[in-house]
Amino acid sequence: MIVVQEVHDVAGRDEDAFDLALRESWAPALAESGEARLVWALRQAHGTGASYRVITYTAVRSAEAWGRLAERIAGGDLRAVVDGLDRYRHRATASLLRPVSWSPLQEIDLDAVPEPDESAPASLFMEDTAYPFREHLEDYLAQAGQLYAGMLAEGAERGTSMLEM
């Protein structure tokens, strides 16, 4: 599994239109192949960074499936959908992510991902982004695993968890 994280800097006046386009155009079109699903769309709270920022996470079955998705976006059936999203945003940056070994979320059942639901209650989320020195990456991941694996296990015992679909 690969997760594509995209950070969208959205024009403030178009924030609701962007959300609607994600729900009604992007998510259904993305799902048509069965190889990828929009699993989370999160608004960054004002005051925590640049305002009008939406962060999306798209789960993709494999590196090969990501290649096919990129082709669909570049000139295939998703080109017009992406052009529609571009009307509402200033820019988007993307990163390809893989789960760390200690993450309980190693796979996402793409067939079980529900349709986007605007009536779902808002949730608070925490994203930890760090840029350790390259020569210390393994040390950082081990220490983060000790911290976060315990927090995730405690949360699961209390009935709270990582992002849920």
For residue range 83-97, what is the model confidence (pLDDT) as tens digits? 999 999 999 999 999
Handedness of CA 37, 43, 48, 49 (dihedral sign): positive
Q: How confident is the model at residue 50 (pLDDT cuts 50, 70, 90)?
A: low
Q: How confident is the model at residue 164 (pLDDT cuts 50, 70, 90)?
A: very low
Residue with tokens 């390259």: 134
Q: How confident is the model at residue 114 (pLDDT cuts 50, 70, 90)?
A: confident
Q: Model confidence over 122-163: pLDDT tens digits?
A: 666 666 677 788 899 889 888 888 888 888 778 778 776 655
- Long-range CB contacts (< 8 A, 24+ apart) of 119-128? 123/163, 125/42, 125/163, 127/55
- Least Cα distance to 43 among 74, 67, 7, 95 occurs for 7
Q: How confident is the model at residue 165 (pLDDT cuts 50, 70, 90)?
A: very low
Q: Is the pTM of this model over 0.85?
A: no
